[in-house]
Each structure stands twice: as structure tokens, then as C-alpha cells.
Chains A and B, each alone.
Chain A
């Protein structure tokens, strides 16, 4: 099983790390790791909130403001870590089974989606124009059950990391190598 890690950058400039692992001939895992929560930003936000609360306390002479500020900070931090801050997004491609997308949050929660190979039409890099920028994103095209040539759904990948094109190309190449394997067999599923 080979594993290699390379640094990249996201669309907004933050450093990312892409780790490729090959578990077997038809199974690959690509994990994109984002920088973790920095202590300095956390302390900056906390001190700002508490200073503001202290200011309000001085004006209103109500100590409930301080307790409320502490409570809000704690709850806000927990909500942020559990629902907002994504630490790692990974893609597990198992030829003949499917593609699995996992997002791991800072609190340890993992949200997983598995798409079966029979539903996957292709993995492509799309470009989107957002305000003044052109953003590239990798997405999975799903087959339409009624129309064999059509695309029923587009599932974008790495939404929160937003890597740049060079990283996307790496991921794209890896995925295509495995998807090509299934095209080698003339038909991949169903009794024809």
C-alpha cells in the first residue's frame, strides 16, 4: 500500500495537503487536509466577544451580560467545531463498488456519502464563474435512469477545501485510472 502526501493551495490561498493511498489495484483513497483551528484566531475572537460584553456590562451594570457572553462563546465554539469546521475531506474510490465521500469535522464527526458505481457516469472538472473569479471544482456526474446519455445530478466534491486546479488534476487522474478499469469490461452491470 503506497501513500504519499503533497502540499497544495486552496482557491483562497490557505495551504492544503493531499494524501494519496493506494490500498489495492482498484481501491484508492485521496484525502485533502485543511489547516486546523488556530489558537490565535480562537483567542482573538474570544477576547473580542468578552471585551464587548464587558463594555456592555460597564454600561448596563448587569452581570447577566457577562455570563451570557461566556455561555454564547462556549455554545458558539461547540457549534462551530461540530457543524462548520471541516478538517479533512476524503474520497475513497473502490472500482466496482462505488465512490465514497467523507467530510471529517473538527469535533470528530464524520459525514459520509456513498455513491454506487452503477450510478456514476463520470468524474469531471467543471469551471464556474463566481463574482469576478473563475473557480474549478471536481464533480461526479450521476446517470439518469431514464435517459442513458443524460446526467441526472451533479455532486460537487471538496466544497469546503476548494483546491486549485493542480490539485484537482491529481485527484482527477487518480479517479480516472480506476474508472477506466471498469470501462475495460464491456458491460459493467445488469444482465443484458
Chain B
């Protein structure tokens, strides 16, 4: 179906000649189109080659004519657009017929045979004349830096009037006038030459850009307007809204792609074009349009044909540029971007074709290369929450997120590779073959039944945990006090999140799931490591054996302390009686405690052995168990603290109340303030007496309170450190950190631009790279929430509470009532 133009059976193009003659006598475009319609064949024909017999060729010629005229775009687009052949062109000949004949020798779009005759000749002639790369003459802008060698100038004497498009003979195009739309390119060429030395431009390599600029003036605007019905999209071309600079984001993977047309997204409010792929010749325009509309439907990205890409391995072909420009008539897009690359040159030429632009502004073009795969996979931070933002916000969203979004949503486009047997041949980052990992696929398949099993198990466990039996008062109190239970509940919740069958909606949820999974994995791995270490040399037996002696030792130390307090601690003189009472009370308490410990001692080892097994549930669980054991072992210290604190608190309140009485004041509970009050004499007497007693007993109580508070704080600090470690393991987003380390482009804080080598007259070349997020921001963004909260009290309030004897609970858990 797609024969190359080279292998044709009609070298002289007589078929074309006949067709040309036929059409040259046509009166109007409509007529031509009608004829074309009349002859249209069902199958998409070969437009470019004279390989078929002349009738078919003429049919195709006409169809292509209709195509170019665009008067019946839907009909004409059945034509296949082949790979343009690169051939050198014969000498120029001013007569129309000669032109037509020579034009017929081009094995391209036959329409070109008669449409582009004048154009081609001029270019071809001058070129074969003197290996220069000239433009056909444009007298008014020829001097403005049209790329040329000096010697080619005479050949360009051909008046521009003779360059005509469409059916030249009919003159319907009013040849010779410069289309206003093309002023842009001419102007841009002019602008470039203004800034540069003309000589530089001559020497400036085989760029089609300046040529484009010079060659801008084509035949009349009338043709185009009639031909295309191209009405540009309202936004960008109206005066002054867009930036003056056109930005083209080009994927680096397409740098070595064959010639074709560019598809991507045009972001008009930013005047930038994001190119996603290159569609190669040969293709059928209507199929391309269907493909694009299907893509649009699936990805919700406004993908369209943006321009043409010309990668010529040999020296540049001027006529090719015309051909590519004509493609712009088939796929109407405003502006039509043309990028061309010669050989291995780094410096490409880029130009735009504005069909309708009212302002004659010079447009600079910036070519930004980007790595398609990395941009597709990366996620820009801070992420825009699409559910929450309104349409207006989404529009105002940063330009970069629009670009990242475009590429990311076009994932479907990148799934077709060159081994697919579709009608459209694309080049993008995955066009050499879609890569996938077997392991990942297997895991994806395996994850579904695993998740279901896990969900079932978890529902059983949580059902058991929520049973009424465990909710009775002593048990529920115990569960709330043990941090192990909190940790287990937390982990259970994590497991439920992972094993849910719903796919993660957005990046944040996905990262959270991944972080939880990795955290659980590491936790369990470390726990098993700990367990193996503990059980290896029966260390747990040793631990159990040393537990009782340690408890005994602690009790002994406490007893010594109390004895010391009962004497004259630090030289202070205590109230003997109170001292003895308190001391004996606490000593008896310790004695009771030791008895209970000794009672449990035969079971300790067994209990510890089984409890140690639960370390396989995770290091965090093991640490929580350790913290609970510490709490249980120092329970008597806690009790002492509470007794001492309550006593002290009572004393302080009593003292303050009696002090008020001493001064004749009273605390008004209703008004929450101090009021004066007149007391009776006996009230005053007893009050003063009590005040004196309490005051002189204060040092003793205060000393006991101080000692036990310090001990309690010590235990609290130890427990706090263990909980800190547990929280660290719980909340650290390890997956995100490893991702940042190994695949830093996935977490993007922004982009960075690098200026590549420049050449005067060529568009500005930049390389866009991804700027990864810093580790601090990674941890902050993806931290997993934990159940505990850290001390809410500031230092001053803590000191105040201590002074007043109020009980302090530094580690309040979320969900507990505040005391």
C-alpha cells in the first residue's frame, strides 16, 4: 500500500503531465474538487508516486489537489501522505509549462506538480546553479538575510509573482502579494538578521530557519483562506495576550527520529508547545486525526498536530520545506511549528507559520529539551490537589505543572511502540519497545489474592479485638495503659490500609501505602533479627534470671534512700514524727512489692520467653514491650510519686487557703476570684493554728515529694526515649527516602534549566532537568502520622505544675481524655 516514490514505473511523470494539463484548464477550485470527488477511489491510493497508471495517478492528483485546497477536507484527507523523496531539482525555466513539467518530475504529492511549480523551480534552479542554498527571489525581503551564497543571486531574479500555489494559471490566488500571515516569519527572519551579521547567516550552516524566513512569502492569502478554512483558535493570536516568545518543549528521545509531524499539546495561555511524539510518513491524515481524537478521549489531554519535523541526513532540501508547510493546511493548527535538523548538526532551525495574525511582531523561539521518561514519571511537589482546586486555580497553576501533567497523562500514547501493526508510526521514549519487568507483573498478579487473604484475616482479628469481652472495665483500663496494645492497634490499622483492594487514587496515597509497606517490612525484619539475637545463646533466659535480682536491687536502693530521708538528709532537720510515718509507710509498700515480685519469680522466665516471641511482630512491638516492662517494674516508684504528690498538693492548697484566711480574704468559687471576708474569731484562731502546723510540716513533705518526683522523672525519660525510637521507626518514610536516593527524578521540587551551546540565528537551546526534592522536605511531606503526641506543656507550665504538686503525664496519647 505504501510504495516508495522511488520505484515508479513512470519516470517521466507523463501521468502527471496529463493530469496537470487537465487541471490547468480548470476554472475554479470547486470544480477541481468536484472532479476529484468524481474520481475518488475507495482505497487510499498512493499519492506520491507515478508508479501506477496515469488514470490512477490523475485520480490521486486530483484528490491531493482537493486535499491541498482543503475545500473538502474530509474527502481529501483519505490521501496517504508519503515520505517525501529527496531528489535534486532541475534548472529553472520561466515558462509555466516548463515549470509544470519539471514540477511533475518530483515524485511527491502530485499537487505539487502544478501548485508548487513556480516555487520549486526557483529554489531548484538556483540551487543546482551554484551549490548555494538560496531562496527563491523575494525582492522585498530577499535582502533581509535570506540564506544564500552570493553567487546564487542572479538565479533569484525570478519575480515573486510567479511563485504561486494552487492552480497557478487560474491566478485565483492573486500571486505576488505577501500574505500578512507570513510577515511573522519574514519579520522573524528580519529580526534575526537585524541582530546578526548577514554574512554570519550566510555561513550559518544548513538551517532551514532563515530559509523559512526568507521563503515566507508565498502566494496569496486568498488561497490559504479558501483552502483551509483555518481559523485559528481564538486565544493566542488575538493581539497581545500571549507572550512574545514561543516555547517548544521537545523530547530528547525524538532528536534522531525520522521526519514526520509533531503531535503534542499546545498551551495557548503560555504560548508553549509540548511535543509528545513524532508521527512518521507515510500516514493517512484522517487516521491520524481519528487516533488523536481517540487519544484525547482517553487521556483528557488536548493532543493535536502541532507542526512538522524534518530530519534530513543529507543536505537540505528546500522543496521539502514547502511540502512540510503544506501539511499545515491539512492539520490546521495555529501556529504551525516547523523544526528541521540537518545531518548531525546540533543547531536546529525552528520556525512558525501563523496563518492569521494581525500583529506583526517578531517572535523568538526557545527550544527546551526534556527527558520524556523522567518527566512522565516524576511528581511535582507541592502536589496540586485536583479535587479541591477550582477550574480557575487549575488554570493559574504553574506552567511547569501543566507540562508535567501533559506528559504524565499521556502515558497511553507511549504504550504503542514501533512493533505494533497500526497505521500510525510514532517515535517517543518507548517507541523502541515497551519495557516491563516480569517480577513486577508477577507481584501485581500475586498481590490481589494476597490482599484478599490479608483483609479476611484482619477482619477476623479486629472482630476478635472488638468483642465485648475485652471491653469490661479492668481490661479496657489495662489495654489503654499498655503501650504495646496501642502499637499493635496502630500496626493493625496500617495493615488494613495496605491490604485494601482499592487502588491508590493519587500520588500521595500511593506513596503512603508504599511507605507503610516498607516500614512494616523493615520493622518485622529488625524484630526477627532481634529475636534471633535474643534467643541464640539463651540470652532471654539470662535476662529473665537477672530480672529478679535487678528488681531486688532497686528495692534495696529505695530502702536505703528512705532510711536516709528518715534520718537527717543533707543535714536538714525534719519533723521527726511525720518523717517516721511517711518513711515507714513507704518502706512497707516496698516490702509488699518485693513480696509480689518474689511470688512471680518462677513464672518470670516462661512469661518472658513467650513475650519475647512477640518481637517477631516487629521491633516497635519489642520496644513497646520493653517500655511496658520498665513501667511495671518501677510501678512502686510511680505509686510513691503519686502519694508524695498528692500529699504535697494537699498541703500547698491548704496553705494557700489558710494564708488567705490569715489575711482576711476568701476564694470565691462562683466568681473565681479572691474576695475579702470577715471571719469569726474562733475561725481565725483555728485557721492560724492549722496554718502554722502545715507550714512547719512543709519541708518534710516537700523533700519526699522532691525525691520521688525526681525518680519518677528519670523513669519517664527512659520511657520517653524508647517511645521516641518507636515513633521514629513508625513514621519514617523509608520508601520515599530510598526513592529520593535512587530515583531522584520521581520526586521533583522543580526544574532547572541549562543553557546549551548556542549559535546565532538559531533558537535558544535549553535543557530542562528535574530538580529533586531535598531530603528534609521528603521526610516532612511523606511522614506517616503516629498515635502519640509529644509533651504539650511548655517548660514554664511544667515547672508550675511541679511546684503546685499537680500530677504530670508527659506522654499523653491521642484519644485519651486530658486529666
A positions within 8 Å CB-CB of B: 1, 23-27, 29, 92, 94-97, 100, 102, 112-114, 116, 118-119, 145, 181-182, 184-192
Report yes or no: B247 in contact with A97, Cβ–Cβ below 8 A: yes
Report yes or no: A114 in contact with B752, Cβ–Cβ below 8 A: yes
Partner of A24, one of B242, B244, B268, B764: B764
**What per-residue 1/0 map shows which CB atoms of B732-772 lie under 8 Å from chain A?**
00000000000000000011110100101001101000010
Complex Cα spacing A24 to B195, Å = 10
Q: Which residues from A are CB-within-8-Å of B270?
A: 189
Minimum C-beta distance from A6 to chain B (A): 20
Give the residue name and chain of the A residue nearest to B365 (CB).
A24
Complex Cα spacing A145 to B240, Å = 23
Q: List 16 A-B contacts (CB under 8 A).
A: A1-B760, A23-B755, A26-B366, A26-B764, A92-B753, A94-B366, A97-B366, A100-B753, A112-B771, A114-B751, A116-B398, A145-B396, A184-B244, A186-B240, A188-B243, A192-B241
Q: Which residues from A are CB-within-8-Å of B771?
A: 112-114
Partner of A190, one of B247, B269, B366, B760: B269
Complex Cα spacing A188 to B242, Å = 6
Complex Cα spacing A145 to B396, Å = 9
Q: Which residues from B are CB-within-8-Å of A188?
A: 243
Give the residue name and chain of the A residue nearest to B763 (CB).
A24
- B364 CB–A CB distance under 8 Å: yes
Minimum C-beta distance from A47 to chain B (A): 35
Q: Which residues from A are CB-within-8-Å of B750?
A: 113-114
Q: Which of A92, A96, A118 has the largest count of B CB atoms less than 10 A from its CB?
A: A96
Report yes or no: B243 in contact with A24, Cβ–Cβ below 8 A: no
Complex Cα spacing A25 to B753, Å = 17
> Which residues from 425 to 446 on chain B have a C-beta closer than 8 Å to any C-beta of chain A?
none
Report yes or no: B753 in contact with A24, Cβ–Cβ below 8 A: no
Complex Cα spacing A181 to B361, Å = 13
Report yes or no: B241 in contact with A1, Cβ–Cβ below 8 A: no
Partner of A116, one of B271, B399, B755: B399
Partner of B269, one of A27, A186, A189: A189
Minimum C-beta distance from B359 to chain A (A): 10
In the complex where A25-B195, A112-B771 touch, is A96 in contact with B243 (Cβ < 8 A)?
yes
Complex Cα spacing A25 to B362, Å = 12
Complex Cα spacing A102 to B750, Å = 13
**What per-residue 1/0 map shows which CB atoms of B254-276 lie under 8 Å from chain A?**
00000000000000111100000
Complex Cα spacing A77 to B619, Å = 37
Report yes or no: B244 in contact with A181, Cβ–Cβ below 8 A: yes
Q: Which residues from B are CB-within-8-Å of A24?
A: 364, 366, 758, 763-764
> Which residues from 391 to 405 on chain B have a C-beta closer than 8 Å to any C-beta of chain A?
395-396, 398-400
Complex Cα spacing A77 to B565, Å = 54
Complex Cα spacing A188 to B269, Å = 9
Partner of A94, one of B235, B241, B269, B753: B753
Tier of interface size on chain B: 20 to 34
Minimum C-beta distance from B315 to chain A (A): 26
Minimum C-beta distance from A178 to chain B (A): 11
Report yes or no: A29 in contact with B244, Cβ–Cβ below 8 A: no
Q: Which residues from A are CB-within-8-Å of B398?
A: 116, 118-119
Report yes or no: B764 in contact with A112, Cβ–Cβ below 8 A: no
- B724 CB–A CB distance under 8 Å: no
Complex Cα spacing A53 to B305, Å = 71
Q: Which residues from B are CB-within-8-Å of A186?
A: 240-241
In the complex where A23-B758, A114-B752, A116-B399 touch, is A187 in contact with B247 (Cβ < 8 A)?
no
Report yes or no: B366 in contact with A96, Cβ–Cβ below 8 A: yes
Minimum C-beta distance from B650 to chain A (A): 55
- B543 CB–A CB distance under 8 Å: no
- B713 CB–A CB distance under 8 Å: no
Complex Cα spacing A25 to B760, Å = 11
**What per-residue 1/0 map shows which CB atoms of B227-262 lie under 8 Å from chain A?**
000000001000011111101000000000000000
In the complex where A114-B750, A114-B771 touch, is A187 in contact with B364 (Cβ < 8 A)?
no
Q: Which residues from A are CB-within-8-Å of B760?
A: 1
Q: Which residues from B are CB-within-8-Å of A114?
A: 750-753, 771
> Which residues from 149 to 203 on chain B have a C-beta closer than 8 Å to any C-beta of chain A?
195
Q: Which residues from B are CB-within-8-Å of A113?
A: 750, 771
Give the residue name and chain of the B residue nearest to A192 (CB).
B241
Minimum C-beta distance from B665 to chain A (A): 52
Report yes or no: A27 in contact with B764, Cβ–Cβ below 8 A: yes
Q: Which residues from A are CB-within-8-Å of B766?
A: 27, 94, 97
Give the residue name and chain of the B residue nearest to A101 (CB).
B752
Minimum C-beta distance from B346 to chain A (A): 14
Report yes or no: B245 in contact with A96, Cβ–Cβ below 8 A: yes
**What per-residue 1/0 map shows which CB atoms of B376-400 lie under 8 Å from chain A?**
0000000000000000000110111
Complex Cα spacing A186 to B760, Å = 28
Q: Which residues from B are CB-within-8-Å of A97?
A: 247, 366, 368, 753, 766
Q: Which residues from A are CB-within-8-Å of B245?
A: 26, 95-96
Q: Which of A24, A25, A116, A185 has the largest count of B CB atoms less than 10 A from its CB?
A: A24
Complex Cα spacing A191 to B242, Å = 9
Minimum C-beta distance from B396 to chain A (A): 6
Give the residue name and chain of the A residue nearest to B192 (CB).
A25
Report yes or no: A187 in contact with B195, Cβ–Cβ below 8 A: no
Report yes or no: A96 in contact with B247, Cβ–Cβ below 8 A: yes
Minimum C-beta distance from A93 to chain B (A): 11
Complex Cα spacing A27 to B763, Å = 11
Report yes or no: A185 in contact with B240, Cβ–Cβ below 8 A: yes
Report yes or no: A118 in contact with B241, Cβ–Cβ below 8 A: no
In the complex where A25-B364, A114-B750 touch, is A182 in contact with B755 (Cβ < 8 A)?
no
Q: Which residues from A are CB-within-8-Å of B752?
A: 100, 102, 112, 114
Partner of B243, one of A25, A29, A145, A189: A189
Complex Cα spacing A187 to B195, Å = 26
Q: Which residues from B are CB-within-8-Å of A25?
A: 195, 364
Q: Which residues from A are CB-within-8-Å of B244?
A: 96, 181, 184-185
Report yes or no: B399 in contact with A190, Cβ–Cβ below 8 A: no
Known: A94-B764, A116-B400, A190-B269. 16 other contacts (CB 8 A): A1-B760, A24-B364, A24-B764, A25-B364, A26-B245, A27-B764, A92-B753, A94-B366, A96-B243, A96-B247, A97-B366, A112-B771, A114-B750, A116-B399, A186-B241, A189-B269
